[in-house]
Chain A
């Protein structure tokens, strides 16, 4: 369960207004895709959802409760790069989340508890297609494999909200269809609300149940920092819940073919 409510949210850095009066309400298990010009505050919005940044004004509620002001296990994140631990193998990266939560002092599991964690991790590795790379280090993985692992690493902790900041932006266009299928499968199988920033409008339409467009509406050439970005379009893409599974299958079948652009507005 994760209903996310954003009320009158502003974000400023000094005199620079980045986000201006954002008001949004997200249903549980929504897949929100966010597009917008570079530098218009998409990452900032995710950072606020994550708790890395505090809003200058306004409130952010998850299930009616204010969010904790620092990152925590209820919200997972996948960055474009650098979110894997280079000193741990693929398996080590994956079970780290379980170890940190189940062993508060050592942050390591041993014996039967470790074996149990490994069984769990292996089933996820299987699901994300990394079973064969179990003992490799991140530096030995391709970019696509690294992102799969980073996603798996977040999902194993069963976050209520998963945030993805241009997760496929640095990848080979040829493998994005696979990545889309993976993220949709994980979204269908887990009770989580997803927020995904993408610079690819097509991807935004294809994956989301709701598409947000961030843009600066007002612009003062004398003081470009005076106005921030707002949500200029908020497009519901598909009906939720009842036909979730059907959409997922449709997407999987359609991957590779032309996406169907939902009517805007």
Chain B
């Protein structure tokens, strides 16, 4: 009998083991739902799967009586647009400033303390300021997400760039590299996969800020809907929406992971 620490499950068993917690969760839900509804048929907390499916159908396949829109998709598109814009914006800011701070000592001296302070501002604390200054529209929501995650990406990339072995940078200089070439041919290409890692880690925060902003001032969006129907205790809407948000976040994370290993095969080989 080998030690527990040396026992590795095979592919099949690993998959089964991975499924177990999901199955347990679903089973616990079904049991809870059954017990509560048996006690009180009007209970709203844990709707049956059929209620969940029919509500989802109403939201995702039928037009809303008042607005004439299919709410689920309108909400999804609105939220995705916001989060994608914010992610692209944060990635661009993160890359530009992170590279400059990490690679150029002069820029580091000028900006690193400032970025360190800015990244400590709790973004939700300045949400009111954003709404006051930028209005209740899209700009404020995107600004909140960007303010929340861009400084973190900037700091992460600056650290990563500064972490590159100095041997590499010296070597490049002996091969004739100018500062510009050092950044574009040596540092930047090694920062792309780091940027993807950084984005993946920021994704949770981005969704958090998105939902917070939508909950406060919005007329559509996944977060908006959840907070809207909360007043009616509409768990049959909230639960599918939460599952959908989770799935979207998971898919975005997975897509970034695939992109990283496809586009930068050399990263997985390094020790």
At the interface, yes or no: B174 with Cβ under 8 Å from chain A? Answer: yes
Chosen A-B contacts, 25 in total, with CB atoms closer than 8 Å, are: A52-B170, A71-B174, A73-B175, A75-B174, A76-B175, A82-B165, A83-B167, A84-B168, A86-B266, A86-B270, A87-B190, A87-B266, A88-B189, A97-B176, A99-B185, A100-B178, A104-B181, A107-B181, A107-B184, A108-B185, A137-B266, A153-B171, A154-B171, A157-B175, A157-B176
Are A50 and B190 in contact, with the CB atoms below 8 A? Answer: no
Closest to A137 in B: B266
Flag whether B177 is at the interface (Cβ < 8 A).
yes
In A123-151, the 8 Å CB interface with B consists of 137-140, 150
Q: Does B250 make an interface contact (CB < 8 A)?
A: no
Question: Is A227 at the interface (CB under 8 A from chain B)?
Answer: no
How many A residues have CB within 8 A of the partner chain? Answer: 37
Contact B181 A100 (CB under 8 A): yes
From 71 to 106 in chain A, residues with beta carbon under 8 angstroms from any chain B beta carbon are 71-73, 75-77, 79, 81-88, 96-97, 99-101, 104-106
**In B66-103, which residues have CB < 8 Å from any A CB?**
none
The 9 closest A-B pairs by CB, nearest first: A139-B269, A82-B165, A97-B175, A71-B173, A73-B176, A82-B167, A107-B181, A83-B171, A107-B185
Whether A77 touches B170, Cβ cut-off 8 Å, given contacts A86-B190, A107-B184, is yes
The reply to whether the CB of A70 lies closer than 8 angstroms to some CB of chain B is yes
List residues of chain B with CB under 8 Å of any chain A CB.
165, 167-168, 170-178, 180-181, 184-186, 189-190, 264-266, 269-271
Q: Is the CB of A73 within 8 A of B174?
A: yes
Q: Which of B173, B175, B180, B264 contacts A87 (CB 8 A)?
A: B264
Least CB distance from B160 to A in Å reads 13
Residues in A whose Cβ lies below 8 Å from that of B176: 72-73, 97, 100-101, 157
Question: Does B175 lie within 8 Å of A50, measured CB to CB?
Answer: no
Structural contact, A79 and B173, CB atoms closer than 8 A: no
B270's partner among A50, A79, A88, A139 (CB-CB below 8 A) is: A139
A41 in the interface (beta carbon within 8 A):
no
A167 to chain B: which residues have CB within 8 Å? none
Residues of A within 8 A of B266 (CB): 86-87, 137-139
- B173 nearest CB neighbor, chain A only: A71
B170 touching A140 by the CB < 8 A rule? no
Query: Is A159 interfacial (CB-CB < 8 Å)?
Result: yes
* B223 CB → nearest A CB, Å: 39
Evaluate contact between A79 and B167: CB separation under 8 angstroms.
yes
Selected contact of B269 from candidates A70, A73, A81, A137, CB within 8 Å: A137
A106 to B180, CA, bound (A): 9
Which of B171, B177, B178, B190 interacts with A79 by CB under 8 Å? B171
Chain B residues contacting A71 (CB-CB under 8 Å) are 170, 173-174
Q: How far is the CA of A100 from the CA of B172 in the complex (A)?
A: 9
> Contact: B171 with A77, CB < 8 Å?
yes
Q: What's the minimum C-beta distance from B6 to chain A, rounded to whole angstroms? A: 27
Of all chain B residues, the one with the shortest Cβ separation from A165 is: B167
Beta-carbon contact of A137 and B170 below 8 Å: no
When chains A and B are docked, how far (Å) is the Cα of A235 from the Cα of B185?
A: 42
Residues of B within 8 A of A138 (CB): 266
Q: Do the beta carbons of A100 and B190 come within 8 Å of each other?
A: no
CA distance A86 to B269 in the complex (A): 9
Question: Bound state CA distance, A84 and B62, in angstroms?
Answer: 59
Q: Contact: B167 with A100, CB < 8 Å?
A: no
Which of B170, B174, B271 gathers the greatest number of chain A CB atoms within 10 Å? B174
A-B contact sample (18 more), CB < 8 A, given A82-B167, A86-B190, A108-B185? A71-B174, A72-B173, A72-B174, A73-B175, A76-B175, A77-B171, A79-B167, A83-B167, A84-B171, A86-B266, A88-B189, A96-B185, A100-B175, A100-B177, A100-B178, A107-B184, A154-B171, A154-B175
Q: Report Cα–Cα, A28/B50, bound state, in Å.
A: 88
Q: How far is the CB of B183 from chain A (nearest CB, A)?
A: 10
Distance between Cα atoms of A153 and B266 in the complex (Å): 19
Contacts of B184 in A (CB 8 A): 106-107
Query: Does the CB pair B270–A77 fall under 8 Å?
Result: no
Docked pose: A137 CA to B172 CA in angstroms: 17
Q: How far is the CA of A83 from the CA of B264 in the complex (A)?
A: 20
Contacts A82-B165, A87-B266 given; does A77 touch B174 at CB 8 Å: yes
In the complex formed, the residue of B with least CB distance to A162 is B174
**A84 → chain B, closest Cβ, in Å?**
8
Instruction: Decide: A76 near B174, CB < 8 A? Known: A137-B265, A139-B266, A139-B270.
Output: yes
Given contacts A86-B266, A107-B184, A139-B266, contact A50 B174 (CB under 8 A): yes
| A137→B193 CA distance, assembly (Å) | 16
* A-side contacts of B189, CB under 8 Å: 87-88
Give Cα A76 to B170, complex, Å. Answer: 10
CA distance A87 to B171 in the complex (A): 15
Minimum C-beta distance from B184 to chain A (A): 6
Could you give, for residues 188-217 of chain A, a 1 whenever the CB lies within 8 Å of some chain B CB and a 0 otherwise?
A: 000000000000000000000000000000
